[in-house]
Structure 1
Amino acid sequence: MRLVQIAQRAGDLQRAARWYADLLEAAPVATFDPPGLVFFDLDGVRLLLEGNAPAALLYLAVDDIAATVERLRAAGTEITAEPHVIFTHADDTLGPAGTAEWQAFVEDSEGNLVGLVEHRAPA
């Protein structure tokens, strides 16, 4: 079994589509309006923005958490938790063994919380 799609609440579909396009640095792969659906491709998993969807807490992998947070901050995104280490992976059960897992949290244009995750090798 594999994850196929995640739906995220978008009160203002166009605003949300712009925000996620900026965050993901990618354009939507499909838009159907009506009925009000925007899709992004997250490495084979569909992210669906929809007005009637419930809010979801997404965790997205980023290559450089500090640079991503600063780029989003400069664009006016509210940063709700600055980058910080959550834990170090002793084995590869939840992430690459030996890496520190950094997380930060931002608020999207619709008020949904979005987690950013970087696995950082030891210096």
Structure 2
Amino acid sequence: MRGLTQVAQHADDLDRATAFYRDVLGLRHVATYRPPGLASFDLDGVRLLVEKGAPSAVLYLATDDLEADVARLRAHDVAIVQEPHLVFTDDGTFGTRDKEIRMAAFRDSEGNLLCLMT
């Protein structure tokens, strides 16, 4: 195996979900296909496939400024489920000893849980 190439995420309303991932999260929209009814986005080289038939997945998105991104989500009336908080301090296992790993959680337009992580 060589790595992750695609992740699928559930959407009840493809147009609403496309607008959320493109306009609110700022992901690059690659294509929409009708039929079968799916939209594709670029997640730094990994495809995010949004479609009705997919199960819900928890996506962890990288951020360089957790507080600013949470504020931007709030400005779009996105429901913040968990405020920014410390998850753990890296002991070197994940490459940066003493780096604080912080996270916040929110819901997308379809009710799926997503997290932002530093």
Q: TM-score, normalised by structure 2?
A: 0.94
Which residue of structure 1 lines up, in the alignment, with residue 67 of structure 2?
Answer: 66
Asked whether 1:88 is paired with 2:112, we answer no
Structure 2: runs of 5+ lacking an equivalent: none
Q: What is the CA-CA distance between 1:95 and the residue it aligns to?
A: 4.7
Contact 2:28–2:42 under 8 Å retained in 1:
no
Q: Deviations over 1:92-120 (max 9, x none)?
A: x23522210000000000000001101xx
Structure 2 matches for 1:81-120, cutoff 5 A?
Answer: 81-91=82-92, 93-118=93-118
Q: Give 4+ residue runs of structure 1 displaced > 4 Å after superposition.
A: none
Deviation of residue 90 (structure 1)?
A: 1.2
Question: What does residue 40 of structure 1 align with?
Answer: 41
Q: Where does residue 24 of structure 1 map in the other structure?
A: 25
For the Cα contact (< 8 Å) 2:31–2:39, is it kept in 1? yes
Structure 1 residue 74 displacement after superposition: 1.1
Go from structure 1 to structure 2 and tell me whether the alpha carbon gap of 1:18 and 1:66 turns closer, same or farther (over 3 Å shift). Answer: same
State the secondary structure of the residue aligned to 1:18: helix
TM-score, scaled relative to structure 1: 0.90
Local SS of the residue matching 1:66: helix
Letter of the 2:84 counterpart: P
RMSD over aligned Cα atoms: 1.1
| Structure 1 SS opposite 2:29 | coil
Calculate percent identity across the aligned residue pairs: 52
Residue of structure 1 equivalent to 2:7: 6
